[in-house]
Amino acid sequence: MARTGRPKSDNPKNNFIGLKMTAEESAKLRNYASKHDMTISQVLLRGIDMQYELDTISEQ
């Protein structure tokens, strides 16, 4: 019998990182995500990618 459910990912996201922030920072994050139709995780991951790009540019 075939297994049912969601197929396994090739690159599973198994790592969890907690983050403490002020109410103002949290509101900014939630507002930005809502305004741009993104999840909070998408906003944070995009920010990480942007920081890496800036580091790469500054190292050249």
List, for residues 7-58, the tens digit of each pLDDT value.
888 999 899 999 999 999 999 999 999 999 999 999 999 999 999 999 988 8
* Domain residue ranges in the chain: 23-59
Q: In the chain, count of helices (H) and strands (E)?
A: 2, 0
Which tokens is 51 given?
Answer: 């920081």
φ, ψ of residue 17 to 5 degrees: the values are: -125, 125
